[in-house]
Amino acid sequence: MDTKTLMFFALFHLIFFLSPSINNALSTRKIRARKPYKSLVFYFHDIIYNGKNSHNATAAIVGAPAWGNKTILASQNLFGDLVVFDDPITVDNNLHSTPVGRAQGFYVYDKKDIFTAWLGFSFVFNSTEHKGSLNFAGADPLMNKTRDISVIGGTGDFFMTRGIATLMTDSFEGEVYFRLRTDIKLLFCFLYTTGGDGGSNLSYYHSATLAVVHYI
Ligand SMILES: *[C@@H]1O[C@H](CO)[C@@H](O)[C@H](O)[C@H]1NC(C)=O
Ligand SMILES: *[C@@H]1O[C@H](CO)[C@@H](O)[C@H](O)[C@H]1NC(C)=O
Ligand SMILES: *[C@@H]1O[C@H](CO)[C@@H](O)[C@H](O)[C@H]1NC(C)=O
Ligand SMILES: *[C@@H]1O[C@H](CO)[C@@H](O)[C@H](O)[C@H]1NC(C)=O
Ligand SMILES: *[C@@H]1O[C@H](CO)[C@@H](O)[C@H](O)[C@H]1NC(C)=O
């Protein structure tokens, strides 16, 4: 992530949190963390259904252009293919490590003349270390070594977070398997200061006293 990106987030963040009405509504307390951001690294593993691997496929083509089909990714840089996935997330690059959660969402190949996609997905955690989810969205120009997408929010441990995730293709095996390294940098997060069920109870969030952790 370059300095310009960080500056943009810092500015956005300042404008958002200096607004008195927002501050009052949430009755927040600000905590400044020692590090400029919270850093997390995960890998997720995508095995695309190819007509023969239904037992271990974690992704399926659910939409294809008229010149393609749902078994084989389309010609013209896969343009028009829409893939839904439910991929295991691991902390190292081994597909067989115990997953800490699932990456769930879709990608759509959206340019005819180059190989590029648009991603919309969540990390749904299920581990002792992390509870809740992180939501991601953004353009993924696959030919670039690193690609930045937005962390647009979260729940549980990551309640209302914002940040950036740098994706790197860690492995690519034909048209069946790929592994993405995801370097996540969260710029701030909310913390509950009293009890809570850690996730889904919205009325709880409205009544709770929240603390904003500023990572920047
Ligand atoms: C999926 O299963 C097939 C058949 O057992 C195997 O050859 C392949 O390596 C598996 N794919 C992955 C990514 O583990
Ligand atoms: C899908 O398209 C590929 C490539 O054109 C073709 O080989 C395959 O037979 C098609 N599969 C189906 C189920 O139509
Ligand atoms: C979460 O992990 C536990 C223990 O590994 C497992 O039993 C459970 O099915 C998992 N839940 C989900 C939603 O994946
Ligand atoms: C991807 O790489 C190309 C060529 O190096 C560069 O021009 C482009 O700005 C990069 N795109 C993104 C989104 O980083
Ligand atoms: C949500 O949290 C509030 C406050 O803790 C509690 O009174 C309420 O029963 C919870 N609602 C649900 C549906 O869990």
Return the domain boundaries, the chain. 38-184
Which atom of ligand 4 is nearest to 147's Cα?
14
User: Ligand 4 centre and the CA of 77: distance in Å?
Assistant: 17
Q: What is the pLDDT of residue 160?
A: 85
- CA-CA distances (angstroms) from residue 45 to 37, 87, 178? 26, 6, 6
Residues with CB under 6 A from ligand 2: 69, 71-72
pLDDT, residue 32, reads 63
User: Burial of 83 by CB count in 10 Å (0-12 exposed, 13-18 middle, 19+ buried)?
Assistant: buried
Name the 3-class secondary structure at 46.
strand
Confidence of residue 175 (pLDDT cuts 50, 70, 90): confident
Task: Assess whether pLDDT exceeds 50 at residue 87.
Answer: yes
How far is Cα 9 from Cα 158, in angstroms, rounded to an integer? 17
Q: Cβ of 196: how many Cβ atoms within 10 Å?
A: 14
Q: How many CA atoms lie within 13 A of 178 on its CB side?
A: 13
- Considering Cα of 127, then 151, then 14, then 198, what sign does the dihedral take? negative
Ligand 1 neighbours, Cβ below 6 Å, are: 47, 53, 56, 177
150 Cα to the center of ligand 3, angstroms: 27
The residue ranking higher by pLDDT, 53 or 75, is: 53
The mean predicted confidence, pLDDT, of the chain is 82
Kindly give the number of the ligand 2 atom that is closest to the alpha carbon of 51: 13
pLDDT of 202 strictly over 80: no
Q: pLDDT at position 24, please? A: 40
Residue 5 has a pLDDT of: 54
Q: Which ligand is nearest to the CA of 73?
A: 2
Predicted pLDDT at 201: 47
* Nearest ligand atom owner, CA of 72: 2
Range among 8-12, 32-36, 70-74 rated most confident: 70-74
Taking the model in full, what pTM does it have? Answer: 0.77
Confidence tier at 21 by pLDDT (50, 70, 90): very low
Does the structure show a pLDDT above 90 at 65? yes
User: Does residue 14 register a pLDDT over 70?
Assistant: no
Each as own residue / partner, the long-range contacts of residues 77-80 (CB below 8 Å, 24 or more positions apart, any chain) are 77/109, 77/111, 77/112, 77/113, 77/114, 77/115, 77/116, 78/109, 78/115, 78/117, 79/109, 79/110, 79/111, 79/112, 80/108, 80/109
104-145 pLDDT, tens digit each: 999 999 999 999 999 999 999 999 899 899 999 999 999 999
Question: Distance from CA of residue 155 to its chain's centroid?
Answer: 12
Pocket test for ligand 2, best of 71, 76, 78 (most atoms within 8 A of CB): 71
Task: Give the residue-averaged pLDDT of 19-43.
Answer: 64
pLDDT-derived band of residue 22, with 50, 70 and 90 as boundaries? Answer: very low
Measured CA angle at 97 (ends 91, 99), to 5 deg = 65
User: Which pLDDT score is estimated for 164?
Assistant: 94
Can you give the pLDDT at residue 187? 86
Please give the CATH superfamily to which domain 38-184 belongs: Allene oxide cyclase-like (2.40.480.10)
Reply yes or no on whether the pLDDT at 10 is more than 90. no
pLDDT of residue 194: 45
